[in-house]
Amino acid sequence: MTGIVTTDPIVSRAPPPRHALALASAIGAIACGALLAATIQSSLMMTLVTQAIITAILATGVGFLIRQNGVVSFGHAAFYGIACYTIALALKLGVMRVEFAILLALALPTALAFLLGLVIIRIPGVAFSMLTLAVGQAFYEFAMKARHVTGGEDGFSVSLPPAILGIPTAWFQNPHSMFVVSWSVLVLIIFGLALIAASPFGRLTVAIRENEERARFIGYRTTLPRVLVLTLSAFVTAIAGVLFTLYNTFVSPDVLHWTLSGSALIMAIIGGPRLIWGPALGAIIFFFTKDIAGDVTEHWQGIIGVILIVVMLVIPSGLGGTLAALWQRRFGHG
Amino acid sequence: MRRSHLLAFGLLGSAAALVAPAGPATAQETLKIGVPTALTGTYAGLGAEAVRAIEFAVAEANAKGGVAGHKVEIKTLDTEAKPEVARKQAEKLALEGYKILTGTIASGEGLAMGPLLARWDAIYVSTINKSDKLTGDSCVPRMFRTNHQDAQDAAVVRPWLGSRKEGKWAILAADIAWGRDSGKSFVEAAKVNKKDIVAEIYSPFGSNDYAPFIQQIKSSGAEGLWVALAGRDAINFATQAKEFGLLDKVFVAGVSFVTDNNVKTLGATSKGIWGIINYSSTLDTPANKAFVEAWKTKYNGDEPASFEGETYLGMQVIFQAVEKAKSVKPVDVAKAMRGGTFDTVLGKVTLRAEDHQMVLPNYFGYIGERGGKLRPIITETIPANVATTPPTGTCKMGEL
């Protein structure tokens, strides 16, 4: 946070050949994912990994906001949950085809984030976090209270049609095929966000993050770029919500609760929000720690808490940041 | 020559394939029971009761050499009584091979699991979920209920409410599927008996502060109060209601409110509270007496509590279905359950094929002193054919 624009490595170097390299690694990563799905036989393992990946997309959305805007949101569950409930309610009420419901589920949270951002993005620090928390909880309370449509605390099952965009719905519910879908989406999101971060727009938002006044002084408008980052972050979160609903076919107010936003934040911090892929790594670590610790003790939150404290004290750049630093040291400057 | 070799190998191969799965492997296959239940949170107390009953039943069965030769194994995972978590944990259990699921607390959890049972090749036997939806519009071929549904509780409440002198009633229920169902049934019972409902309050699940609701009940002028709260909700409410003097002013009755566990925690506060009793250790059937004796020996003289009795009943049904099916395969067990008759602590009972609801007798009573101890005392027994109303027709049961 202390450095200025020019000291940030991402800002200072982004030569074009790297794009080709990034694209190659993205394709490679997707291929690896498909290979992994073909290798692992256990449905249990695959369903855990698939859920972890969907959570990783959510964390990536939250992390991108921290990385580009330097602000912390406690309300991303709202974007995630609205996407879930949009599909679920659209199908329950039978008002539209599932394909349109998915589009609407992506558009609504994104539009909401944009409009909301115009108002709250100017508010700094803790106040911003508190506002996101308040907005998020408002949607949670609504889902709890509107029992006749949302089923309240109990939630309700989503009945999907037999095919979505011509793809059999069973594909989205089989852990193996859904893993390939979610993994590919995650890789593409990280690739896309990396491109955006390296673009002039990405560098501008980092500059604003570091010193908004200076950026304005140079002649940039600083509000809209930050609003767009929030919008983009909400869009990524909504994608996670859509995948979650297709896979789980069940929604309850848990998907809107602030604890989900909080968990996503913890994932981002454990993984390292300064890297585009850090939060995703954090999410996978979080998910499996929770799963393994949850088998041993009911107090798995304690173990996550200890990990969080250790990461924040010892490696503030997160596990991803440490890995990246080690890689840098081992293979030099490349 | 070559072709005949090929044929021989082919025949040998298919013979092996046919013989292998039918061999001794199945005879010793373990009966794996998954228990996704509340180990933490508001319903942790209920979850502990469910787990104790299941462990008791399993130990008993294994001591006798297993169920039809199958050793029984259980695995418990915490659901926090949240539907979303229950879904995940049940999936985990089912995919690990614990495909016969039971012991779950909140109706919302059962409703969340229902649609996915076929995907997991699992079955779910409810021993505590009460919402009518489970065996109503949300029924599925792989879901069963061996405990009392709301409709059965309502059938008991109706005649009882008619005998009460209080004309104005308030309802306080948990804002979840079960509480809503119970509240709705009570409103209907009040209509039939020409009683006024002056307040209908649904408090959030897991509330700590009941003061505003207590105030609302007081100011409504209610003479009677119907409570559908369980676990920590019931205890929090009862303790605060006592402090605010509500219990002295208003006649209180409820469902899942008159349980042994609540009596233990509340002590004298609970004395004189009326309500539906779904199971009591004092029930006078030979099977129940034997069960209570065995339980007392194992748990240092403790008697089985309400949810322990109900869950034990569910385990009896599962075990007998396995014996009847001669298989631990979920589908086979489900087929044996559907329409089957079982010997339980509540006597001989039938699991209705139309909606998978157990046809059970039901009981009503109050908390009073017996044998120097406060406990639920049954004053009225309603036979199964009266307590269990016919299927409403909302359940369209599919094929297994």
- Helices then strands, counting H and E runs in chain A, come out as 16, 4
Whether residues B266 and B297 fall in one domain: no
Please tell me whether residues B250 and B371 are part of one structural domain.
Answer: yes
Average pLDDT, integer, range A169-191: 93
Domain membership of residue B400 (yes or no) is no
Segment B288-307 mean pLDDT? 93
- pLDDT per position as a tens digit, B56-112: 999 999 999 999 999 999 999 999 999 989 998 999 999 999 999 999 999 999 999
Q: How far is A222 from chain B (nearest CA, A)?
A: 40
Q: What is the DSSP string of B271-318?
A: TT-EEEES--TT---HHHHHHHHHHHHHTTTPPP-HHHHHHHHHHHHH
DSSP classification of residue A220? -
- Does residue B144 contact residue B337 with C-beta atoms inside 8 Å? yes
Q: Which of A44, A155, A250 sits opposite B96 (nearest CB)?
A: A44
| Nearest CB partner across the interface for B40, out of A51, A157, A298 | A298
Question: Which of the residues A153, A156, A244, A288 would you substitute to probe the B interface, choosing the one with the greatest number of B C-beta atoms within 10 Å?
Answer: A153
- Structural domain contains residue A83: yes
List the one residue out of B200, B274, B212, B205 whose CA is nearest residue B234. Answer: B205
Report the DSSP beta bridge partners of residue B77: B36
Whether the per-residue pLDDT at A153 is higher than 90: the answer is no
Give chain B positions within 8 Å (CB) of A151: 177
Nearest to B111 among A42, A144, A154 (CB): A154
In a domain, A35, yes or no: no
Nearest to B150 by CA among B117, B112, B176, B119: B176
Regarding whether B266 and B179 lie in a shared domain, the answer is yes
Helix/strand/coil for B125: strand
Query: Can you tell me the mean pLDDT for B389-398?
Result: 89
**Residue A181 within any structural domain of the chain:** yes
Residue of chain B whose Cα is closest to the Cα of A159:
B115
For residues B193-215, b (16+ Cβ closer than 10 Å) or e, as one string? bebebbbbbbbbbbbeebeebbe
* Element at B78 (helix H, strand E): strand B72-78
**How far away is chain B from the Cα of A43, in angstroms, using its nearest Cα?**
7
**Rounded-to-integer distance, Cα B135 and Cα A116, Å:** 43
What's the order of all strands across the beta sheet hosting B72-78? B72-78, B31-37, B100-102, B123-126, B143-145
Q: Which residue of A has its CA nearest to B138?
A: A157
Q: Are residues B374 and B355 in the same domain?
A: no
Q: Which domain holds residue A92?
A: 42-329
Residue A31 C-alpha, separation from nearest chain B C-alpha, in angstroms: 26
Q: Which residues of A are less than 8 Å from B82 in CB distance?
A: 252, 254
Phi and psi, residue B274, nearest 5°: -95, 160
Structural domains of chain B, count: 2
Contacts of B107 in chain A (CB under 8 A): 154
User: The domain spanning residue A154 has which CATH number?
Assistant: 1.10.3470
For residue B89, give the chain A residue with the closest CA: A291
Per-residue confidence band for B392, with pLDDT thresholds at 50, 70 and 90: confident
Q: Name every residue whose Cβ is closer than 8 Å to that of residue B300 and which is 6 or more positions away in sequence.
A: none
Chain A closest-CA separation from residue B184 CA (Å): 14
B289 located within any domain:
yes
Does B222 lie in the same domain as B244?
yes
User: According to the model, what pLDDT value does residue B268 have?
Assistant: 82
B107-151 pLDDT, tens digit per residue, is 999 999 998 899 899 999 999 999 999 999 899 999 999 999 999
pLDDT at A272: 93
Out of A165-179, B210-224, B326-340, least confident range? A165-179
Residue B315 structure tokens: 């385990």
Which residue in A250, A294, A295 is closest to B87 by CB distance? A250
Residue A62 lies in a domain: yes
Tell me: do B352 and B225 sit in the same domain. no
Rounded Cα–Cα distance for residues A31 and B144 (Å): 43
- The string of pLDDT tens digits covering residues B242-282 is 889 898 889 999 988 777 777 887 888 788 888 999 998 88
Same domain? For B246 and B176 the reply is yes
Query: Three-state DSSP class for A95?
Result: coil
All residues of chain A having their beta carbon less than 8 Å from the beta carbon of residue B114 are 157
Residues in a beta bridge with B348: B343
Quote the CA–CA distance of A139 and A113 in Å, as a whole number.
Answer: 13
- The distance from CA A179 to its chain's CA centroid, rounded to whole angstroms, is 16
- Give a yes or no: residue B397 inside a domain: no
For A42, B86, B99, B115, B350, the CA distances from B329, given in Å and listed in that order, are 19, 22, 8, 19, 21
Contact A249 B95 (CB under 8 A): no
Chain B closest-CA separation from residue A122 CA (Å): 35
pLDDT digits (tens, 9 = 90+) for A233-247: 999 999 999 999 999
**Cα–Cα dist B342/B317, whole Å:** 6
CB distance B106 to B83 below 8 Å: yes
Tens digit of each residue's pLDDT (9 = 90 or more) over B9-18: 444 444 444 4
A258 assigned to some structural domain: yes
Query: Which residues of chain A approach chain B closer than 8 Å at the C-beta?
Result: 42-44, 47-48, 51, 144, 147, 151-157, 159, 173, 248-250, 252, 254-255, 294-295, 298
What is the secondary structure of B18-33 as a DSSP string? HHHHHSHHHHT--EEE
Q: How many CB pairs under 8 A join A and B?
A: 69
Q: What is the pLDDT of residue A7?
A: 43
**Is residue A7 domain-resident?**
no
Q: Do B83 and A250 touch (CB under 8 A)?
A: yes
Q: Are residues B60 and B128 in the same domain?
A: yes
Q: What percent of chain A has pLDDT over 70?
A: 94
Q: Please judge whether A255 and B180 are an interchain contact, meaning their C-beta atoms are less than 8 angstroms apart.
A: no
Is B261 in the same domain as B320?
no
Residues in B closer than 8 angstroms to A51, CB to CB, are 88
Residue A1 lies in a domain: no
A19 three-class SS:
helix
The torsion angles phi and psi of B299, rounded to 5 degrees, stand at -110, 50
B221 and B254 in a common domain: yes
Per residue in B194-250, pLDDT tens?
999 999 999 999 999 999 999 999 999 999 999 999 999 999 998 899 889 898 889
Chain A CB contacts of B87 below 8 Å: 248, 250
The tens digit of pLDDT for each residue in A1-30 reads: 444 444 444 444 445 567 788 888 899 999
Distances (CA, A) of B151 to A280, B194, B213, B216, B330: 48, 19, 26, 27, 28
Beta strands in A206-288 (DSSP E): 250-251
Q: Check residue A40 and report its DSSP letter.
A: -
Residues B199, B300: one domain?
Answer: no
Contact A252 B83 (CB under 8 A): yes
Q: What total of structural domains would you count in chain A?
A: 1
Q: Both B212 and B234 in a single domain?
A: yes
The nearest alpha carbon in chain B to A48 belongs to B92
Is A252 close to B82, i.e. CB distance below 8 A?
yes
Domain interval for residue B101: 27-148+285-360
What proportions of chain B, in percent to the nearest 5, are helix, strand and coil? 45, 20, 30
Contacts of A298 in chain B (CB under 8 A): 39-40, 78
Instruction: Find the closest chain B residue to A156 by CA distance.
Output: B112
What is the domain-level CATH number for residue B178? 3.40.50.2300
* Domain assignment of residue B9, yes or no: no
